[in-house]
Amino acid sequence: MNKINRRKMLAFAGIIGLSPWMKLSATEAEAAQAIKKIVGASKIRSGRVTLDIPPLVENGNLVEMRVSIASPMTPSDHVRAIHIIAEGNPLPNIVSFYLNSRSGRAVVTTRIRLADSQRVWAIAQMSDGEFWQGYAETLVTLAACTEV
């Protein structure tokens, strides 16, 4: 009788994880689908969103970015959410930040991982249901997100 033990199972899982068919980045269509999932049928406008990311990044494991949205942040007019999408990462949805009128300013700063040189999108959802977008392109010399 063939019995599978834990070692064999872990070895098999490792082989599957290292398979050449495993994709290392999303396609532009997958990134567009991720954006469509966020906004649905709503129209996305350009402007109001500023995404600051270095144009040249030495190491994709630690990329600092800052997103700011022109908004008064009042109870009737504020940013509800900021979604970050990276076209070239294995999973394009990087992070979502949820805000309210008490957040004070519509500004977030964080560090992200980028798999390769790519375009990064910031999509802001406003309290009235509108969506605004901004993007930045960056060149990554040492890719991240490729560890298995």
Kindly tell me the burial class for residue 30, based on how many C-beta atoms sit within 10 Å of its own C-beta (0-12, 13-18, 19 or more). Answer: middle
Could you give the C-alpha distances from 52 to 55, 61, 122, in angstroms and in order? 9, 17, 10
Neighbours of 12 (CB within 10 A): 11
Q: Which domain holds residue 118?
A: 24-142
In this prediction, residue 13 has a pLDDT band, given cuts at 50, 70 and 90, of low
- pLDDT tens digits, one per residue of 75-134: 999 999 999 999 999 999 999 999 999 999 999 999 999 999 999 999 999 999 999 999
- pLDDT tens digits, one per residue of 109-122: 999 999 999 999 99
Q: What is the CATH number of the domain that holds 65?
A: 2.60.40.2470
In this prediction, residue 27 has a pLDDT band, given cuts at 50, 70 and 90, of confident
Tell me if 2 is assigned to some domain: no
Tell me if 12 is assigned to some domain: no
Tell me if 16 is assigned to some domain: no
Q: How many domains does the chain have?
A: 1
Tell me if 102 is assigned to some domain: yes
CA distance 67 to 129: 19
